[in-house]
């Protein structure tokens, strides 16, 4: 029973994290118009998410040898929440959008780490 709850909770958190992360590219035409972004800036807002992810994954996966993976995953979920809220409420142009998107990408890094692994 408990393992089923953990699996369900992890699946739900992953779905919610991915929906938020990948809805931004779908909203990009509206963001381009709202923030007067160039096509290059719009590409950076989208792509910096993956840069944050690529930087965070090697570090976070290595940390799972010393720290409980569940803690790292929960830290990632907390960071996703902060980054998503920041992007939704405070991003008002290119630079702030890039900061929140990079943080968001770095926070998604713990997703592939199985919270039920080890210990």
- For residue 10 the two structure tokens come to 């992890």
**pLDDT category, 44, cuts 50, 70, 90?**
very high
Q: Domain ranges in the chain?
A: 2-108
Mean pLDDT of 106-119: 64
What is the mean predicted confidence (pLDDT) over 48-73? 88
Would you give the DSSP letter of residue 55?
H
| CA-wise closest residue to 77 among 1, 20, 119, 4 | 20
> What is the average per-residue pLDDT within 31-56?
94
How far is the C-alpha of 113 from the C-alpha of 60, rounded, in Å?
9
Under the banding of pLDDT at 50, 70 and 90, the label for residue 95 is very high
Taking Cα atoms as reference points, which of 99, 107, 91, 101 lies closest to residue 46? 101
**Chain length of the chain:** 119
- In the predicted model, what is the mean pLDDT of the chain? 86
């Amino acid at each position: 029973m408990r393992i089923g709850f953990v699996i369900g909770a992890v699946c739900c958190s992953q779905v919610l994290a991915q929906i938020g992360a990948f809805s931004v590219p779908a909203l990009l035409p509206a963001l381009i118009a709202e923030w007067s972004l160039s096509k290059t800036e719009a590409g950076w807002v989208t792509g910096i998410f993956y840069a944050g992810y690529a930087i965070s994954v090697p570090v976070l996966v290595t940390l799972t040898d010393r720290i409980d993976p569940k803690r790292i995953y929960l830290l990632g979920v907390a960071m996703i929440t902060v980054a998503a809220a920041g992007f939704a409420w405070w991003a008002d142009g290119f630079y702030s959008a890039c900061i929140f998107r990079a943080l968001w990408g770095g926070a998604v890094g713990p997703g592939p780490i199985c919270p039920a692994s080890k210990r």
